[in-house]
Amino acid sequence: MIIVSAFKSVPPFARGLVRDLRVRWALEEAGLPYEQKLLADGEKDSADYREWQPFGQVPAYEEDGLRRATEWLIAALNSVEPAIQSLAAIDLFYAQEEWAKLRRPGAEEMVRNRLAAVQTALGNDHWLTDNRFSAGDLMMATVLRILRHTDLIEKAGLGDYLARCEERPAFQRALDAQMAAFAA
Ligand SMILES: N[C@@H](CCC(=O)N[C@@H](CS)C(=O)NCC(=O)O)C(=O)O
């Protein structure tokens, strides 16, 4: 059985846009039946739900009790990267702008929250999924690396995880190939 989480209630501006729509649509296209798990106010931040969706967001997806590496891949790109990219843009492109100075504390706080959720989900494991390196780790590492101009990864307790990803020989070969192109 497939279960998809969604909010029981959202403000009018979000109705019809909430991201569980993508999964519902895909399942309708595929003709696959599913159950919805509707979250009451505040339930998204409960320990139980965070266990399922570490960022307290919808949708969360379950199929016969399974979680998949692709969920982490999407989490990296759409739960973590937007916050990190927003901070990186402030620091790398707009640091001298008055609005950027005003916006930076809030942007950094959002990044800290997202990194804390990643750290909690990772716990003492080596990798995000099933204790083996997956596409989710690959994508998460490339997202976390965007913060290399800060100490936020270390402070979030994710330094060892990122180092573990970057120590992989395949990553080193990929990085070397990119850097060689710049040196040429
Ligand atoms: N990585 C998730 C992100 C989902 C997402 O952004 N969900 C929003 C609703 S559209 C949410 O749950 N926001 C509540 C929150 O961040 O607290 C995905 O792409 O499915």
Closest ligand 1 atom, CA of 44?
17
> Is 58 close to ligand 1, i.e. is its CB under 6 Å away?
yes
pTM value? 0.90
Pocket test for ligand 1, best of 55, 110, 143 (most atoms within 8 A of CB): 55
pLDDT band, very low/low/confident/very high, at 184 (cuts 50, 70, 90): confident
Ligand 1, atom 19, lies closest to the CA of: 78
How confident is the model over 135-161, as pLDDT tens digits? 999 999 999 999 999 999 999 999 999
Closest ligand 1 atom, CA of 58?
12
CB 84 within 8 A of CB 147: yes
Ligand 1, atom 16, lies closest to the CA of: 57
Lowest-confidence range among 81-85, 120-124, 129-133, 144-148?
A: 129-133
State the distance from the centre of ligand 1 to the C-alpha of 19, rounded, in angstroms.
6
How confident is the model over 18-69, as pLDDT tens digits? 999 999 999 999 999 999 999 999 999 999 999 999 999 999 999 998 878 7
pLDDT at 163 over 80: yes
Per-residue DSSP letter, 66: B
> Is 59 close to ligand 1, i.e. is its CB under 6 Å away?
yes
Cβ neighbour number for residue 107 with a 10 Å cutoff: 19
Closest ligand 1 atom, CA of 77?
1
Closest ligand 1 atom, CA of 14?
10
| Per-position b or e across 79-95, b if 16+ CB within 10 A of its CB | bbbebbebbbebbeeee
> Is 136 close to ligand 1, i.e. is its CB under 6 Å away?
no
β-partners of residue 38 are 6
- What is the predicted pLDDT for the residue at 66? 84
